[in-house]
Structure 1
Amino acid sequence: MESVAPASQSTSLSKTSTSSATQATASATRDNNLALGNPSGAVASTSYPSNYLMTKSQYTLSYNRDQGKPNWVSWHLSSAWQGSTARQDNFSPDATLPSGWYRVTTSDYTGYGFDRGHNCPSADRTGSVADNSATFLMTNMMPQASVNNQQTWAGLENYCRTLVSAGNELYIICGSYGKGGTGVNGYATTIAGGKVTVPSNCWKVVVVLPEGSSDVSRITTSTRVIAINTPNTTSIGTAWGAYRTSVDAIEAATGLDLLSALPLSIQNTLEAKADAGATN
């Protein structure tokens, strides 16, 4: 389905006054979805079918043709991306995949006991029908256990939007890795006749800043970064805060280089820490 500010600031930011939040909203912009770096060095070339770069207005991703799901999806979230557009629920194959590549359909998930789990959430892109519809492309989906998707994962998504309402902007990167998860119909390693890999883990990294410009240059060693790594299983706990970890740990598990656009000294400090801030 559809994670913040420096830990020392989290309380005050969540209690931003209505007037200051309104001012922040007025200055909010839609910024570069890949501003913090390309985690896998993905390239928009069919020579790299397991690390194929897809750049959309709403988010950027590395698609894995052989697994039928993204390796990672990266997006910016501010109030400028939000509006009153209803959830479209128009799951559809991604026609922008290269010719000859299999295009996963919504029915490929039918009967296997896993949700069509959004990487970039529907509720993060409500500015227009086109924006919301983009989140329902199957290249933005992963087979996700329902308890994870609808409760744990959704809880972090909702918290992210609460932070935006308080006058922040976020950079979010998420994805999945491993093979084998447990849905309502039991354990599986693939679905759709082997065309889609069921991941063992789903992870997310969130960088939180007060609204402003020149975002990358404003990230410091005290910026709040939330990283979670959740098992893809029905037995997962509902509190997302229990699954916090470090960016370093996610990189070790995935082989990705996250937050690579930041100066190395800042990366090293931020990526070594596990968040201990508020969770609601």
Structure 2
Amino acid sequence: MYYKNITDRIQFEIEELKLDQIRSDISKVGLPRLDTTDQLIQHKAMSLVYSEKHEQPQWVSHIITTDIRYGAEGRSNDFRVDPFVSTGTATESDYFLKTLKTDGSYAYDGFGYDRGHLAPSADFRWSAQALSESYYYSNMSPMLADFNRDSWAKLEDLFRSYIYRNPETQLYIVTGPVLSDDLPKIPRAQNNVTIPKHFFKVALDLTNNRAIAFILPNSKNENPLESYPVNIAEVESITGIDFFHQLSDDIEAKLETLKDPKPFLSGSEQSDVIPDHPTKLPRNTYNTIMAKS
């Protein structure tokens, strides 16, 4: 590999060490229990199991580290097939058609769904390598725009903001669609891509012994995030996925029954009374609401 100078080389080697540590931590703590038929896909900063039946990930595991406070990498929008999934993944033509016009530009015919990140690219903005890999279709599920760019983006930002307030720790995150055989498919998709009705996200802070989970409907949501917390055990019951099984039984049992969202909310978001409509994100916080997925 070519380096412009010694500083670039050192920075690259430091990044590689951080990515190695993340991959190790995911393997030791963040991986759900694997079924005998699961093919584990391990990228530099996220691991996943892909569902060929539904043409999207069953779950994606990653870690939000304190490095996001200093990251400056922007969206790459380099959506592409994941070469590590042996059965192949969904593709661009499962979400829209692109036609070249005579003037050299493209006409887009969308099928009504965003390519929604499960592990958000913004969580990897400290690493160009990890951010780029977040655009694999193995990390995408079909989301309605009103969901992906609003309540889902706010949930993603909630956990990033938590790390800003708690830089001494890191968050283990597992995200996925709630899948079942009776769900509809995207009618015009090239592959049989399932349209989930709900998505889950579970989070674990081992340093401070905190955990929380959310299940959100794939729709425009008028309620604030405080309306949707559940404990991890509830997500396990709904999905059949066994999260954080490598923890000792007593610690796992304790953390997976926690449900209070307040430790994960900023001061302005904490409230004893749930408002009728969601509040706006705090000023200057990073989110993906305005990003075109």
Using structure 2 for the length normalisation, give the TM-score. 0.71
Identity %: 29
Contact kept in structure 2, 1:34 and 1:74, CA below 8 Å: no
Residue in structure 1 matched with residue 88 of structure 2 by the alignment = 102
Match for 1:102: what amino acid?
A: G
C-alpha displacement of 1:193: 4.6
Residue in structure 2 matched with residue 91 of structure 1 by the alignment = 79
Distance 1:174 1:260 in 2: 16
Residue in structure 1 matched with residue 127 of structure 2 by the alignment = 128
Matches within 5 A, 1:138-217: 138-166=137-165, 167=167, 168-179=169-180, 189-191=184-186, 192-209=189-206
Deviation by residue 1:135-159 (Cα, 9 ceiling, x = unmatched): 1000000111222211111112112
Contact kept in structure 2, 1:151 and 1:238, CA below 8 Å: no
Residue in structure 2 matched with residue 34 of structure 1 by the alignment = 27
The alignment's C-alpha RMSD in Å is 2.4
Match for 2:78: what amino acid?
A: N
The answer to whether residue 232 in structure 2 is matched with residue 247 in structure 1 is: yes
C-alpha displacement of 1:233: 2.1
Residue in structure 1 matched with residue 56 of structure 2 by the alignment = 69
Contact kept in structure 1, 2:44 and 2:129, CA below 8 Å: no
Distance 1:52 1:262 in 2: 22
List runs of 5+ in structure 2 lacking aligned partners.
1-16, 97-109, 267-293
Match for 1:197: what amino acid?
A: T
Match for 1:104: what amino acid?
A: A
Distance 2:156 2:219 in 1: 18
The answer to whether residue 54 in structure 2 is matched with residue 54 in structure 1 is: no
Distance 1:40 1:177 in 2: 17
Residue in structure 1 matched with residue 258 of structure 2 by the alignment = 273
C-alpha displacement of 1:54: 0.3
Match for 2:71: what amino acid?
A: G
C-alpha displacement of 1:90: 0.8
Contact kept in structure 2, 1:93 and 1:104, CA below 8 Å: yes
Deviation by residue 1:253-276 (Cα, 9 ceiling, x = unmatched): 001111111111121122122123
Match for 1:83: what amino acid?
A: G
Distance 1:190 1:270 in 2: 35
Contact kept in structure 2, 1:180 and 1:190, CA below 8 Å: no
Residue in structure 1 matched with residue 7 of structure 2 by the alignment = none
The answer to whether residue 243 in structure 2 is matched with residue 258 in structure 1 is: yes
Contact kept in structure 2, 1:180 and 1:199, CA below 8 Å: no
Distance 2:127 2:250 in 1: 39
C-alpha displacement of 1:132: 1.2
Between structure 1 and structure 2, the one with the greater Rg is 2
Cα 1:90/1:132, change in 2 over 3 Å: same
Residue in structure 2 matched with residue 118 of structure 1 by the alignment = 117
Distance 2:235 2:72 in 1: 34
